[in-house]
A = this chain, B = another copy of it.
């Protein structure tokens, strides 16, 4: 169970990560309902018994996804704090989901939260709070910080809307609208502290 002491592990559990990846992908593409143990095992090229060796229950699998997401958020917050284009621009632009491991984990967590899994709801809430705090640290006006965070939420969920059909383009606004949006928010952020 403990993840530490890798050096003492005889064989690296390749299956574990493969299962986690497959389960995450299923969540992103088809939501909680599509993410079954059988499908995850199949997607990972592992037998169901093998899957259940690493994750004895479905809840354990969910916890695994959430744990991985939390770790990725930690890393992202550090990147954001020292982003060359500034934290606000970085935050807003990175809120539209590309296909990084980070984004996939986030969308998977959101799916689980929407399905009502309490631990996922708690996780999303705390992550949102951490993001809000990070934005607040760089924006004087707390109302502006709130607005920026909410815009990030909106972009995030909108871009996470599409299931598996790659047919329609992303729900994200086009490039130049994003540029204008970022410009507006940066003007608000380090601009007029009052009327």
Contact = CB atoms under 8 A, between A and B. Distances in A.
A150 B151 CA distance: 5
A187 interface: yes
B151 A31 contact: no
A116 B153 contact: no
A147 interface: yes
Contact of A32 (B115, B147, B152): B115
Q: Is the interface of A mostly helix, strand, loop or mixed?
A: helix
A61 to B, nearest CB: 14
A181 B143 contact: yes
B31 A116 contact: yes
Q: In this complex, which of A113, A117, A157 has the most chain B Cβ atoms within 10 angstroms of its Cβ?
A: A157
A70 interface: no
A147 B181 contact: yes
